[in-house]
């Protein structure tokens, strides 16, 4: 998992920088990591677990590497970026604090089996991809413009 994470941090960052943008790449990686987390339920041998760990190591490390860049992509005012990063990190700290105990409780509830924890982890990642998609749409103004007539920049300048 750690060995493949080197490529997982570098390759998605290159694609984000050259083609898709950090937020779009982050959303894609989050969704794929969620799908890969669900696939963990199918790994029933050591070789299957190793293949799963390689895939999850790649996509999970890509998420870690692009987190800051994706968050910066949502902020247009650089003076507010530090506050926004602090707010997101504060919310993320709750997940970091409660994630391991919740996973342990789910494993204990299933008498040592990981299936509930795997489904919970995959569901959290897919939900995060959906929330990030909504944030990206809101950041581009798509959610505000939907259903409203489009105005051109010259119309906006003439009103001002």
Task: Read off the pLDDT of residues 29-81 as tens digits, 9 standing for 90 and up.
Answer: 999 999 999 999 999 999 999 999 999 999 999 999 999 888 888 888 889 98
pLDDT of residue 71: 86
Domain membership of residue 20 (yes or no) is: yes
Question: Among all chains, which residue has been given the structure tokens 């987190």?
Answer: 67
> In this predicted model, which residue has the larger pLDDT, 157 or 61?
61
pLDDT of residue 116: 95
pLDDT tens digits, one per residue of 123-142: 999 999 999 999 888 877 66
In angstroms, the CA 65 to CA 1 distance is 15
Residue-range definition of the domain harbouring residue 60 = 2-142
Residue 47: C-alpha distances to residues 38, 44, 53, 55, 99 (Å): 17, 8, 10, 13, 27
Residues in the chain: 160
Mean pLDDT along residues 82-101: 91
The encoded tokens of residue 126 equal 């897919």
Nearest to 123 by CA among 24, 4, 30: 30
Domain membership of residue 69 (yes or no) is: yes
Contact of 148 with 130, CB cutoff 8 Å = no
Domain membership of residue 147 (yes or no) is: no
Provide the percentage of residues in the chain whose pLDDT is more than 70. Answer: 88
The encoded tokens of residue 156 equal 């906006």
In angstroms, the CA 43 to CA 45 distance is 6
Domain membership of residue 66 (yes or no) is: yes
Domain membership of residue 106 (yes or no) is: yes
Torsion, Cα of 65, 67, 72, 73 (10° steps): 90
Domain membership of residue 84 (yes or no) is: yes
């Amino acid at each position: 998992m750690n060995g493949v994470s080197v490529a997982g941090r570098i390759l998605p960052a290159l694609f984000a920088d050259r083609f898709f943008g950090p937020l779009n790449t982050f959303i894609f990686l989050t969704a794929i990591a969620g799908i890969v987390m669900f696939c963990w339920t199918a790994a029933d041998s050591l070789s299957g677990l190793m293949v799963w760990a390689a895939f999850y190591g790649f996509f999970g490390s890509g998420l870690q590497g692009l987190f800051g860049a994706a968050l910066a992509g949502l902020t247009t005012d650089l003076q507010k970026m530090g506050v926004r990063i602090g707010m997101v990190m504060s919310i993320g700290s709750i997940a970091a604090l409660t994630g391991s105990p919740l996973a342990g409780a789910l494993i204990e509830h299933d008498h040592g089996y990981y299936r509930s924890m795997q489904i919970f982890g995959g569901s959290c990642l897919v939900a995060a991809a959906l929330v990030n998609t909504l944030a990206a749409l809101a950041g581009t103004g798509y959610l505000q413009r939907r259903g409203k007539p489009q105005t051109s920049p010259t119309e906006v300048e003439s009103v001002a």
